[in-house]
Amino acid sequence: MKKLVFATNNQHKTEEIRLALAGKYDVLNLEDIGCLTDIPETADTFEGNATLKSRYVVEHFNLDCFADDSGLEVEALNNEPGVYSARYSGSRDSLENIQLVLKKLEGIGNRKARFKTVISLMQDGKNHIFEGVIKGTITTELSGSKGFGYDPIFQPDGYDITFAEMDMAEKNKISHRAIALEKMMTFLKGDA
Ligand code: IMP
């Protein structure tokens, strides 16, 4: 069976993909291949960062690989925090990052935002890009305690609750990550 690396250390994410591609690909994560490096994510786009990660594995381990990069884009903030989502305030503390977004949006009427995921799949020397987007608005206050990151202030279009108030199973059906992954799965299942 063809080997495919998912450039992540998250065991739960790996298991999900492994199940979905069972019988078709042998899915390995960074730990499985002994990649202990913290792969640099120094690009200024999601696509650039995802590609840095997938290419690193191809170049150092000679295995096909996919990697994802995600973040929040707020329209009135020139699409910030974008690739800096994880440490927008200078810290990795989600609450501090949320507070900075809310502060910057104070007095601004346009609260449109979107979460975006870009996946880079390096297969047989080619880079295939898959993108997932979910549109919504930034609330004025935090609501909910589920999820992570900016979930307490992101209300997806068509819902009157935030991602942090939504059951994980439901969020995982409609999220940016789910959309991008679904596109890659469709591609991979039709392949090989
Ligand atoms: P990553 O590329 O998936 O690690 O995402 C980078 C950062 O974007 C995270 O640390 C979060 O701050 C933010 N982010 C990405 N996806 C989500 C999400 O589904 N909910 C809330 N925040 C997210």
Helix (H) or strand (E) holding 185: helix 176-190
d(CA 108, CA 174): 27
Output the residue whose Cα is nearest ligand 1's atom 1.
70
Whose CA is closest to 77, among 144, 148, 150? 150
Ligand 1 centroid distance, CA of 161 (Å):
18
Whose CA is closest to 162, among 176, 170, 152, 171? 152
CB 138 within 8 A of CB 119: no
Whose CA is closest to 50, among 104, 122, 111? 122
Whose CA is closest to 57, among 42, 43, 69, 40? 40
What is the model's pLDDT at position 13? Answer: 87
The SS3 of residue 74 is strand
Which parts are annotated binding residues? 8-13, 69-70, 148-151, 171, 176-177
Q: In sequence order, which residues have a C-beta less than 8 Å from that of residue 104 and are 6 or more positions away?
A: 74, 77, 80
What is the model's pLDDT at position 191? Answer: 62
Residues with CB under 6 A from ligand 1: 69-72, 85-86, 115, 147-151, 163, 175
What is the model's pLDDT at position 7? Answer: 97
Please state the length of the chain: 192
What is the model's pLDDT at position 192? Answer: 53
What is the model's pLDDT at position 190? Answer: 84
Ligand 1 centroid distance, CA of 92 (Å):
11
pLDDT in tens, the chain (192 residues): 999 999 999 988 899 899 889 999 999 999 999 999 999 999 999 999 999 999 999 999 999 999 999 999 999 999 999 999 999 999 999 999 999 999 999 999 999 999 999 999 999 999 999 999 999 999 999 999 999 999 999 999 999 999 999 998 899 899 999 999 999 999 998 865
Output the residue whose Cα is nearest ligand 1's atom 8.
71
**Tell me: the pLDDT tens digits for 45-61?**
999 999 999 999 999 99
What is the model's pLDDT at position 81? Answer: 98
d(CA 148, CA 95): 10
* Residues facing 72 on adjacent strands: 115
Residue of 73, 85, 115 best suited for mutating to test ligand 1, as the one with most atoms within 8 Å of CB: 85
Specify whether 32 is catalytic: no
DSSP character at residue 31: T
Catalytic residue among 69, 93, 157, 191: 69
- Domains assigned to the chain: 2-191 (3.90.950.10)
The SS3 of residue 122 is strand
Ligand 1 centroid distance, CA of 70 (Å):
6
Q: The whole model's pTM is what?
A: 0.95
**What is the number of the ligand 1 atom nearest to the C-alpha of 86?**
10
Which parts are annotated binding residues for Mg(2+)? 69
